[in-house]
Amino acid sequence: MTVDIIIYHNPECGTSRNALAMIRNAGIEPHVVEYLKTPPSRSQLESLIARAGIGARALLREKGTPFADLGLGNEGLSDAALIDAMMAHPILINRPLVVSPLGVKLCRPSEAVLELIPAAQRGAFAKEDGEQVVDAAGNRVTAG
């Protein structure tokens, strides 16, 4: 299936790897942007945030980043200041951020990517931790 999906991906991140695997499980090979090697431009980042319908703070990653050292917990910081920090330190951009014909979304948890894939899953899928997300018929498994 030819569908234009972009995933801003960090191969070191399990959530990002799981989201990428679910896209591929639908028979789609996305355009993978390893954003730590090839960060988005400021205008791209601003557009992604706007299209996702979130503020810059919602895209900010704390764990394993200079978040605390940079004082980014200060709620008084503007979106522009937070984007400045993400441009200077791309590790601050949370992942995976997925762009599809159905929208833009920060896919945390990874199964949130299923809302952006315009094709059925081709078979069962379990996340790296063993959690079943899609059954053998390609249907999403709901908790509970």
Residues tagged active-site = 13
With 0-12 / 13-18 / 19 or more C-beta atoms within 10 angstroms meaning exposed / middle / buried, residue 119 is middle
d(CA 36, CA 45): 13
d(CA 23, CA 25): 5
- The rounded Cα 72 to chain-centroid distance in angstroms is 21
Angle at 104 between CA 100 and CA 109, to 5 degrees: 105
* C-beta of residue 105 within 8 angstroms of C-beta of residue 97: yes
